[in-house]
Amino acid sequence: MGSNKKNALGDYYDIKFKKEYYGKEAVFLSSDPNHYHQKILKIIEELSQDKPLRILDVGCATGYLGAATKKGKNYVCGVEISKEAAKEAKNKLDDVVVGNIEEIELPYPKEYFDVIICSDVVEHLFNPKETLIKLRSYLKPNGKLLMVVPNVAWYRVRLMLLTGKWEYKEHGIMDYGHIRWFTKESGVRLLKESGYDVEEIIPYIVLPSPLSFVDHIFMKLLSKVSSKFFDTIFSQAFLYVGRKGE
């Protein structure tokens, strides 16, 4: 049964990555300085100032994010369930393991990595807590986990529910592949229960179009206010910076 589930999931993501539009619309590195991709890269840059890092990108897809973390002499490995995506990732990263992170053992020593990235991954897992506990064993003491999860309490999801709808899409916050849902607080709880100390929570603010226009005029003032006081409503996703606990 487990093998069948693994094959079905792998086939599902292979089909997604074969679709040309999916790569253009969902699998790319965002250049928006406020996007969590750029926040991750900034954190990696700061951490690698003193020495090169060993980084594991879980759910690395085509390697677009992992490749961007390779600046300097960082050694970057990836884990990817889709064979199609992994083919491309292997051309960008130092090593790529193909398989379901929930079911495989990684071919690396314990306490091997300085940083583990789980960007847009945890919501696709059946047992995210067990997976995060497993990944924790591959982190060095005080190693960092950078976890991004979509915010199910984002205003667009709230509005959808108010109209009596719950409709999935090919990609985005209502991706067909999402099987776990998180709010800001439940993300914190997941990390703590998995053995991580939460050092920082960085919201990715996406405002309604009229407010976004005003926000642009006033130098992102509304985004700054929303980040501080209304992040649970206007954050499309949260980036959690976790540290391996004692």
Q: Is the separation of the CB atoms in 80 and 86 below 8 Å? A: yes
Taking 90 as the threshold, does the pLDDT of residue 127 lie above it?
yes
Taking 80 as the threshold, does the pLDDT of residue 144 lie above it?
yes
Token pair listed for 70: 């390779």
Taking 90 as the threshold, does the pLDDT of residue 227 lie above it?
no
| Nearest in space to 17 (alpha carbons), one of 75, 59, 55 | 59
Kindly state the helix (H) or strand (E) to which residue 203 belongs, with its residue range.
strand 196-205
Token pair listed for 220: 């992102």
- The Cα-based distances of 212 to 85, 179, 200, 216, 234 in angstroms read 33, 30, 25, 6, 11
Summary mean pLDDT of the chain: 90
User: How does residue 7 score in pLDDT terms, banded at 50, 70 and 90?
Assistant: low
Kindly state the helix (H) or strand (E) to which residue 210 belongs, with its residue range.
helix 209-217
| Nearest in space to 149 (alpha carbons), one of 6, 230, 36, 43 | 36
Residue 237: how many other CB atoms lie within 10 Å: 22
pLDDT at 209: 79
Phi and psi, residue 119, nearest 5°: -100, 115
- The Cα-based distances of 236 to 5, 98, 109 in angstroms read 29, 29, 35
pLDDT at 1: 41
- For residues 130 and 211, what is the distance between their CA atoms, to the nearest angstrom? 40
| pTM: predicted TM-score of the whole model, two decimal places | 0.90
- For residues 51 and 54, what is the distance between their CA atoms, to the nearest angstrom? 10
> What CATH number is associated with residue 99?
3.40.50.150
At 190-201, the pLDDT tens digits run 999 999 999 999
Mean pLDDT value of segment 94-122: 96
Which residues on adjacent β-strands are paired with residue 76? 55
Q: Which residues contact 173 (CB under 8 A, 6 or more apart)?
A: 150, 151, 152, 154, 156, 157, 236, 237
Q: Is the separation of the CB atoms in 203 and 230 below 8 Å? A: no
Give the range of the structural domain holding residue 160, as residue numbers without chain letter: 2-244
How many domains are contained in the chain?
1
Cα separation of the two ends of the chain: 36
Mean pLDDT value of segment 140-154: 97
At 36-86, the pLDDT tens digits run 999 999 999 999 998 999 999 999 999 999 999 998 799 999 999 999 899
Beta strands at 196-205 and 235-244: parallel, antiparallel or unpaired: antiparallel
Taking 60 as the threshold, does the pLDDT of residue 22 lie above it?
no
pLDDT at 71: 83
Which residues on adjacent β-strands are paired with residue 196? 244
pLDDT at 193: 97
pLDDT at 215: 67
